[in-house]
Amino acid sequence: MSAERSPLWIGRWIGVFAIVACLFGVSTVARLFADEYRIGSGDVVRVVVWGQDNLNGDYPVDAQGFLPFPLLGRVPARGLTTLELTGRLTELLKKDYLVDPQVMVNVREYLSQKVQVLGETEKPGLFYLTGPTTVTEIVARAGGLTKTAGRYLLLVRPSRDGQPGMPAGSVTRRLDIERLRAGDPSENELLEDGDKVVVPRAQLVFFVQGEVVRSGAFPLDRETTVLDAVTIAGGLTDKAAASNVRLIRRKPDGTQETFPVSLAGSAPDGSFKLEDGDTVVVPRGNAYFVFGEIKKPGAYQLDRPMSILEAIVIAGGFTDKAAPGRTRIIRSGPGGQQTITVDMNDIIKRGQREKAILLQENDVVVVPESFF
């Protein structure tokens, strides 16, 4: 190329870039020359030919992997990168139709390569691969892990036909979540079409509710005390009644036990060790609690005289599995813990409103599940 032609050549390519930037977006253009994505059936490809508006457009890749294109007919596209397809279209157009065609190709819609994310993520579902994508990147697109995610996730990959040594069915690899978080590249695999990323729930969980920063479910993957549980949940809020914390434990026979725990003072009594399924309840000052087969279990403010019937109504009422006749109030006082059984059917169905006991601060209303 002569020195005289160089500015013209540079100007021409600047013009090409400007036009394509308008069509694709600058960030996309910047990726065109480095994209490793392999085009597949179902993808929609945008093609721009400089100075040939009648050829520019979005073209879907058919089920056989061909790109239908004006003048050229069905052009093989499956398995090519955008650069490789650009070269193929350029050569075919140059051969019989255009002099020195300037072609740009970009994937407009990524619909051919997909993976599934299942289990303990915030937004599990089907995701399309838009280029080289790692396990951590797809988990991030799925909203990240839930609080109850276990310590490992599973990468399930279908066997590929024509690959010697690949077993029938699929291959599953277990990946350590802590090593993934630490950036270990040996765990953070690149995903392939058809992969499934499965995030199992932690085998053991506990729950923290009430006046903590982050209430919810948490994995019980090590020895954990009540104080540890509150710390994991972000600590107490400024409205918490630290001296009236409750640990609720479901026994094998389906009944529940409630243990009072004080986290107040300089020496909090939070050494009680949790078991699978335990619930730590941190009340607000002057609060009561409703648990069991109720639609909106949790802690409620006792800001006026409140009967057990009103408390259940405020908590959304019974579920269809509830046993109203065996409702209990667990009440703690100076003399220890007292359990009061209330047949809610007497109150609701038989009109015996005098049995609608008034609640006291820190009462726990428990509605058990029906046996039938």
Domain count for the chain, please give it: 3
Domain identity same for 359 and 220:
yes
Output the average pLDDT for the chain.
84
* Tens of pLDDT, residues 223-258: 999 999 999 999 998 788 888 899 999 887 777 888
Which alpha helices (DSSP H) does the chain contain, by range? 6-24, 26-32, 82-96, 135-141, 177-181, 226-232, 308-314, 344-348
Domain identity same for 182 and 249:
no
What DSSP designation does 368 have? P
pLDDT for 13: 44
pLDDT for 10: 41
d(CA 197, CA 129): 13
Length of the chain (residues):
372
In-domain check, residue 1: no
| CATH number for the domain harbouring residue 264 | 3.10.560.10
In-domain check, residue 194: yes
For residue 303, pLDDT over 60 is answered with yes
Domain identity same for 355 and 226:
yes
Domain identity same for 161 and 262:
no
* Tens of pLDDT, residues 109-163: 888 999 999 999 999 999 999 878 999 999 999 999 998 888 889 999 987 654 4
Listed range (1-10, 185-194, 337-346) with the worst mean pLDDT = 1-10
* Tens of pLDDT, residues 52-62: 999 999 999 99
Domain final residue pick, 109, 131, 165: 109
Alpha-carbon dihedral of residues 127, 133, 136, 141, nearest 10 degrees?
A: -30
**Which residues in 41-69 are b (16+ Cβ under 10 Å) and which e?**
bbbebbbbbbebeebbeebebeeebbbeb
Domain identity same for 257 and 215:
yes
Domain identity same for 105 and 118:
no
For residue 338, pLDDT over 80 is answered with yes
Domain identity same for 237 and 161:
no
Domain identity same for 78 and 21:
yes
Domain identity same for 254 and 141:
no
Residue 274 pLDDT grade (very low, low, confident, very high; cuts 50, 70, 90): very high
d(CA 342, CA 345): 9
pLDDT for 153: 92
pLDDT for 252: 78
* Tens of pLDDT, residues 3-60: 444 444 444 444 444 444 444 443 343 344 335 788 999 999 999 999 999 999 999 9
Domain final residue pick, 59, 75, 109: 109
pTM listed for this prediction: 0.50
CA nearest to 280, candidates 216, 361, 223: 216
Domain identity same for 90 and 209:
no
In-domain check, residue 372: no
d(CA 88, CA 39): 13
Domain final residue pick, 61, 87, 109: 109
In-domain check, residue 178: yes
What DSSP designation does 134 have? B
Domain identity same for 229 and 321:
yes
Please indicate whether residue 92 or residue 35 has the higher confidence score (pLDDT). Answer: 92
Range of the domain at 54: 6-109
pLDDT for 262: 85
pLDDT for 16: 45
Domain identity same for 37 and 22:
yes
In-domain check, residue 164: yes
Asked if residue 136 lies in contact with residue 180, where contact means CB atoms within 8 angstroms, the answer is: yes
